[in-house]
Chain A
Amino acid sequence: MAVQEPAAEVAESGRASLLYDPKIRALISQVALILLVIWLGYSMITNTISNLERQQIASGFGFLGTTSGFSIAPSLGTYIVDYAEESSYGAAFYVGLVNTLLVAFIGIILATIWGFILGVARLSNNWVIAKLSTVYIETLRNVPLLLQIFFWYFAVLRSLPNPRDSVEFGANIVLNTRGLFMPRPLPEDGMGWVGIMVLIGIVAAFLVRRWAHKRQEATGEQFPVFWTSIGLILGLPLVVFLILGLPLQWQIPELTGFNFQGGMVVIPEFMSLLLALVLYTATFIAEIVRAGILAVSHGQTEAAHALGVRSGPTLRLVVIPQALRVIIPPLTSQYLNLTKNSSLAVAIAYPDLVSVFAGTVLNQTGQAVEILLITLAVYLAISIVTSIFMNWYNARMALVER
């Protein structure tokens, strides 16, 4: 009985010591944590302000409006923003942003295609194809991306011929150590109509798809949606283009002196960055695709075959829709990795966001805090938008389930 006495005391006071109340404990530790974070933030900010004053570095975002005074290698960004040395730092920022988005966008598309091919190839019944794909995947994913970028840039693309002995592909496309030169399209009046037609074609294709889907549900009749869509999206603008009398001129690159002038150029920095990113990320996507396909139970394939469905439609209608559910979440993080890895451009001076803005602009202005904050914010925004889109797509895919 003596053992129970303390408990009786507790019962008298109605509760245990406040120190042992989990709610109070949680409150105290959270308040302590907030105070710690506030103190850290406060000391960081005051230190930064005093350090900046001591080093006499300007602060604020006013620098974005001042003239940059440096030139940027020709790239999609400089074409779109119409960048020149007299442009502002803000314009340089847009050039970098456009270039980052460009390499990330094209990279994601190509890496997805190449990754799916590799992933399916690794599962192929064909022994040679499967082994070849395995060796490719295991080799490239175990070698650092930066090394691969250096390899393509310094070892491969540097050994291309000089502009004077360029490799010619016909149609005025030439490849040399300065890049891949192509005719540049110069739109004339009326080209806008062709663009509008493309949009109309896409909307029409979408409507046709919905209508065909409804009709198939109701009557079971199928409709060639794919070819109709191709016709609408490509054919419609083409017809308008021909009716308006080819409102497009081509500016052809010409050899003047030691280099080509005019036209459009894909610079070697872009090519090597894109090559390395695609070849490297595709190995990870291939493994994701392989895991996804293996995750679909073999019974599904057998059941489809038992119903008399052929191999092609089985893969397309039974296996892949189920595999996609496993594939999409890790695929999203690979897309984000590719986007983030495109910042390695700074190593070979492809004018992406990090190279132009966090590199050149930072060195010229010295405003490290503002510039890095903007850069980080851009990458965070890209990450968030991509995740939201992929989550939406994932949710759409998951609806297939009962």
Chain B
Amino acid sequence: MSDTALSYVRSEMVGESAPPASTVGLVGWMRKNLFSSWINTALTLFAIYLVWIIVPPIVNFVIIDATWVADDREGCLAGGGGACWAYVEAKFGQFIYGRYPVEERWRVDIVFVIMAIGTITLAIPTLPYKKWNSIFMLVIFPIMAFFLLVGGYFGLPHIETPLWGGLLVTLVVAITGIVVSLPLGVLFALGRRSDMPIVRLISVIFIEFWRGVPLITVLFMASVMLPLFLPEGVTFDKLMRVLIGVALFSAAYMAEVVRGGLQAIPKGQYEGSQALGLPYWKTMGLIILPQALKLVIPGIVNTFIGLFKDTTLVLIVGLFDLLGAIQLSFTDPKWSTPMTSHTGYVFAAIGFFIFCFSMSRYSIYMENRLHTGHKR
């Protein structure tokens, strides 16, 4: 028997032939994702047409035709008819601080810086000392910010709240809203899940009332009805009244968010802590709430985004937040051009977008971090 009698058996594989040119690379990707059928092709062409009619005018207005440097309206009018960024630059201080006295603006800056550092360190999950950081941000920082911004103590001149404005008011309203609403919301969420019927009833009425009415009417209530409720001689200034309204309003939304977290905690956790003999407040404070609040961080961030956007409504009751300050600056004859209002709105939109978009990304990031279950 010799080997030559055996039929030929291939001992090594032939190399794979390259895939058809139409299924790989850019062409293949486009065939698959853009032109797979005639409907798809039509959609693609339609979408490209939409982009073509929407994007170039915006880019032209915001960048190419824009006036970057000018002393007053003449400079912008002489430009290409695009955005008048020189106006934003001239009014920038007003957009950020309102009519807060220029020589005292360092106080606002300090508050902004501490707030930025505190929130960023709180937001990064890997950094230590979360407990002390949150206590600082929720208790010490608001007190500190109050004394710094209002003044009247420690030799700082008193600044009345009608002088506040711009981003400062936006942040004050939004952050007070969230800081006050968090403990209140936890209380009402616990109340809504309580075994005591009257506590439950009062919590449900509170939550459903505030969730059922628009924020505008709440602000109207805070500005015209609240003074009537108070005894004679007790008055709050307008910002304070708005803060009370916003805090109660967002407490109801926060309560529903926290309730979602409470419902997600397995029953065994309650039973386990009862078996250990922990009383109600210890069960909640040591076992349930730490887990529940961690679960609802994305929900809290989303509530904050909503609240942040809703702070613009305070301009309707006569406070000048970021949008209000911008709206107010349109009346300045020095910068009155046809492009001024467009520029102002684009600036406001970019400002709000940066804040809200980054927060929503953070909320998605936290959701993915917390959501370690089965995903497809």
- Chain A residue numbers with a CB within 8 Å of B130 are none
Decide yes or no whether A142 CB sits under 8 A from chain B.
yes
The A contact surface, by secondary structure, is helix
Partner of B228, one of A143, A146, A369, A384: A369
> A364-385: which residues lie under 8 A (CB-CB) from chain B?
368-369, 372, 375-376, 379-380, 383-384
Shortest CB distance B183–A (Å)? 17
B356 touches A125 (CB 8 A): no
Stretch at the interface among A150-158, A181-189, A226-234, A266-274: A150-158
B352 touches A128 (CB 8 A): no
- Chain A residue numbers with a CB within 8 Å of B199 are 29-30, 33
In the complex, the chain B residue whose C-beta lies closest to that of A148 is: B349
- Chain B residue numbers with a CB within 8 Å of A306 are none
Partner of A125, one of B36, B216, B316: B36
Bits for A22-34, please: 1 = Cβ < 8 Å to B, else 0: 0000100110011
The distance in angstroms between the C-alpha atoms of A236 and B302, with both chains bound, is 50
Decide yes or no whether A239 CB sits under 8 A from chain B.
no
A358 touches B312 (CB 8 A): no
In the complex, the chain A residue whose C-beta lies closest to that of B42 is: A126
B198 touches A30 (CB 8 A): yes
Partner of A128, one of B44, B197, B327, B349: B44
Shortest CB distance B216–A (Å)? 4
Shortest CB distance B61–A (Å)? 11
Interface size class of A (residues with CB under 8 A): 35 or more
Stretch at the interface among B97-105, B146-154, B340-348: B340-348
- Chain A residue numbers with a CB within 8 Å of B209 are 380
Decide yes or no whether B50 CB sits under 8 A from chain A.
yes
Decide yes or no whether A402 CB sits under 8 A from chain B.
no
The distance in angstroms between the C-alpha atoms of A305 and B109, with both chains bound, is 61
A29 touches B196 (CB 8 A): yes
A37 touches B202 (CB 8 A): yes
In the complex, the chain A residue whose C-beta lies closest to that of B216 is: A343
Decide yes or no whether B176 CB sits under 8 A from chain A.
no
The distance in angstroms between the C-alpha atoms of A379 and B217, with both chains bound, is 10
A144-B309 contact, Cβ under 8 Å, with A26-B195, A30-B196: yes
- Chain A residue numbers with a CB within 8 Å of B1 are none
Stretch at the interface among A50-58, A206-214, A253-261, A392-400: A50-58
Shortest CB distance B2–A (Å)? 54
- Chain B residue numbers with a CB within 8 Å of A37 are 202
A354 touches B216 (CB 8 A): yes
A142-B353 contact, Cβ under 8 Å, with A43-B231, A51-B228: yes
- Chain A residue numbers with a CB within 8 Å of B198 are 30, 33-34
B212 touches A154 (CB 8 A): no
- Chain B residue numbers with a CB within 8 Å of A384 are 212
Shortest CB distance B340–A (Å)? 10
Bits for B262-294, please: 1 = Cβ < 8 Å to A, else 0: 000000000000000000000000000000000
Residue from B197, B202, B213 having most chain A Cβ neighbours under 10 A: B213
Decide yes or no whether A147 CB sits under 8 A from chain B.
yes
Decide yes or no whether A73 CB sits under 8 A from chain B.
no
Stretch at the interface among B7-15, B63-71, B111-119, B219-227: B219-227
Decide yes or no whether B310 CB sits under 8 A from chain A.
yes
B44 touches A129 (CB 8 A): yes
Decide yes or no whether A85 CB sits under 8 A from chain B.
no
Decide yes or no whether A145 CB sits under 8 A from chain B.
yes
Partner of B43, one of A50, A51, A129, A383: A129
Shortest CB distance B25–A (Å)? 15
- Chain B residue numbers with a CB within 8 Å of A150 are 323, 327, 345
A372 touches B224 (CB 8 A): yes
Shortest CB distance A384–B (Å)? 7
A341 touches B224 (CB 8 A): no
The distance in angstroms between the C-alpha atoms of A30 and B198, with both chains bound, is 6
- Chain A residue numbers with a CB within 8 Å of B195 are 26
A146 touches B217 (CB 8 A): no
A147 touches B196 (CB 8 A): no
Decide yes or no whether A71 CB sits under 8 A from chain B.
no
In the complex, the chain A residue whose C-beta lies closest to that of B323 is: A147
Shortest CB distance B7–A (Å)? 42
> B301-350: which residues lie under 8 A (CB-CB) from chain A?
305, 309-310, 312-313, 315-316, 323, 327, 341-342, 345, 348-349
Decide yes or no whether B184 CB sits under 8 A from chain A.
no
- Chain B residue numbers with a CB within 8 Å of A144 are 309-310, 312, 323, 352
Residue from B196, B214, B357 having most chain A Cβ neighbours under 10 A: B214
Decide yes or no whether A216 CB sits under 8 A from chain B.
no
Decide yes or no whether A309 CB sits under 8 A from chain B.
no
The distance in angstroms between the C-alpha atoms of A144 and B350, with both chains bound, is 11
A380-B212 contact, Cβ under 8 Å, with A37-B202, A147-B323: yes
In the complex, the chain A residue whose C-beta lies closest to that of B339 is: A155
- Chain B residue numbers with a CB within 8 Å of A343 are 214, 216-217
Decide yes or no whether B22 CB sits under 8 A from chain A.
no
A51 touches B232 (CB 8 A): yes
Decide yes or no whether B48 CB sits under 8 A from chain A.
yes
B36 touches A372 (CB 8 A): no
Decide yes or no whether B40 CB sits under 8 A from chain A.
yes
In the complex, the chain B residue whose C-beta lies closest to that of A358 is: B220
Decide yes or no whether A362 CB sits under 8 A from chain B.
yes
Decide yes or no whether A132 CB sits under 8 A from chain B.
yes
A33 touches B47 (CB 8 A): no
- Chain A residue numbers with a CB within 8 Å of B214 are 340-341, 343, 354, 379
In the complex, the chain B residue whose C-beta lies closest to that of A127 is: B33
Shortest CB distance A316–B (Å)? 17
In the complex, the chain A residue whose C-beta lies closest to that of B359 is: A142
- Chain A residue numbers with a CB within 8 Å of B40 are 125-126
Shortest CB distance A225–B (Å)? 26
Decide yes or no whether A199 CB sits under 8 A from chain B.
no
What are 14 A-B interface contacts by the 8 Å CB criterion? A26-B195, A26-B196, A48-B229, A128-B34, A128-B43, A132-B47, A139-B353, A358-B217, A372-B220, A372-B225, A375-B217, A376-B217, A379-B214, A380-B209
Known: A30-B199, A128-B34, A372-B217. 18 other contacts (CB 8 A): A30-B197, A37-B202, A47-B230, A51-B227, A54-B232, A128-B44, A132-B47, A141-B356, A142-B352, A142-B353, A142-B360, A146-B313, A154-B345, A336-B212, A372-B220, A379-B213, A383-B211, A383-B213
* B residues whose Cβ falls under 8 Å from a Cβ of A: 33-34, 36, 40, 43-44, 47-48, 50-51, 195-199, 202, 209, 211-217, 220-221, 224-225, 227-232, 305, 309-310, 312-313, 315-316, 323, 327, 341-342, 345, 348-349, 352-353, 356-357, 360, 376
